[in-house]
Structure 1
Amino acid sequence: DRIWQTVRDFNALPDWVPAVRESRIEGGQPSDQVGCVRAFRLEDGGFLRERLLALSDYDYSVTYSILESPMGVENYIATLKFVPVTDGSRTFAEWTAEFDCDPAAEAELVANIGNTVFQAAFDALKVRFGA
């Protein structure tokens, strides 16, 4: 529940994703309102905009799409889901993404998103909440 309370806040990326410097929700909407758009800047200066497509406190899942990104992806939709593990005080996390891109850039994008974004965020959550 502690992890979910952090992650479910669509504006809290700087709290748990190391590469994110700052984030804001456009138009003053609540950060848990489906349809809200977060605009954020990365530590390297990159700028992204993402729309919250689904948020479930029952399934501990969040789904979002990228509206604007320097990564060279289109039709990007990702889901981050947490499943409590009943054997001990642990949580299983799964982060999946589908997108279109230039076929020549696909392998590099998959590695970059998987390692630089997803795994780095998981590692930061482990440090913050204990592993």
Structure 2
Amino acid sequence: MGEESKSLWEGKLTVELTSVAAEQAWPALEDFCNLHKWIPINTCYHVEGVQGQPGLVRYCSSTVKAVVEDEADGADDAVESETTVKWAKEKLLMMDPVRRCLSYEVGENNMGFESYVATLKVIPVGGDGESVGCLIEWGFVCDPVEGWSLEDFESYIQYCLQFMAKKIQDECSVTR
């Protein structure tokens, strides 16, 4: 008998930036090794490869605190905080500045990803022939991640998109 096949998770989530044009938002995504400026992670830096070129690898990490009950001393209210670092190396597969999109895959990681490919796009939202805003679309295809439901995973991505939108809007309002 063969191994049971598990179905892939696939999805596309978007966030709208009503006051930021696509050409203003794209530089945030195009700067592949500075993801920590745009989503809630602690660090992101260049590991190898050429900026903007397929094969570029970035290292991303976040410190996660979990509350753990301390049952050793018998107190019902005793809790400890356990800190772990979640990390991943992510490889740029494609970047198209004209179409304002990029794709990357998660490689080595301790987050439970076996396979994960994401595509991010900045899509103009027009008004009378001019871009007056944009959508950021985050598409993904991955194996199910242990400990997560698809709904929880999509909720996390939507949270990251909302965080990113606010950061980009704030940045663009300062630079105007």
The TM-score with structure 1 as length reference comes to 0.81
**Aligned partner (choices 98, 108, 119) of residue 58 of structure 1:** 98
SS at 1:12 equivalent: helix
1:119 aligns with 2:162: yes
Identity across the alignment (%)? 23
**Which residue does 2:47 correspond to in 1?**
26
**Which residue does 2:117 correspond to in 1?**
77
Does the CA contact (< 8 Å) of 2:87 and 2:111 recur in 1?
no
1:42 aligns with 2:62: yes
SS at 1:114 equivalent: helix
The TM-score with structure 2 as length reference comes to 0.63
**Which residue does 2:31 correspond to in 1?**
9
Q: Distance in 2 between matches of 1:85 and 1:65?
A: 27
**Which residue does 1:110 correspond to in 2?**
154
Quickly say closer, same or farther: Cα 1:69–1:118, change in 2 above 3 A: farther
* Paired amino acid for 1:22: T
Quickly say closer, same or farther: Cα 1:97–1:33, change in 2 above 3 A: same
Quickly say closer, same or farther: Cα 1:81–1:22, change in 2 above 3 A: same
Q: Distance in 2 between matches of 1:121 and 1:95?
A: 11
The number of equivalent residue pairs is 127
Residue segments in structure 2 that go unaligned for 5+ positions in a row: 1-22, 65-84
Q: Distance in 1 between matches of 2:31 and 2:157?
A: 21
State the structure with more CA Rg: 2
- The answer to which structure has the higher helix fraction is 1
Quickly say closer, same or farther: Cα 1:103–1:37, change in 2 above 3 A: closer
Q: CA deviation at 1:43?
A: 4.5
Q: Distance in 1 between matches of 2:57 and 2:145?
A: 26
SS at 1:59 equivalent: coil
CA-atom RMSD in angstroms:
2.1
Residue segments in structure 1 that go unaligned for 5+ positions in a row: none
Q: Distance in 2 between matches of 1:54 and 1:48?
A: 18
Runs of 4+, deviation exceeding 2 Å: 68-71, 102-115, 117-130
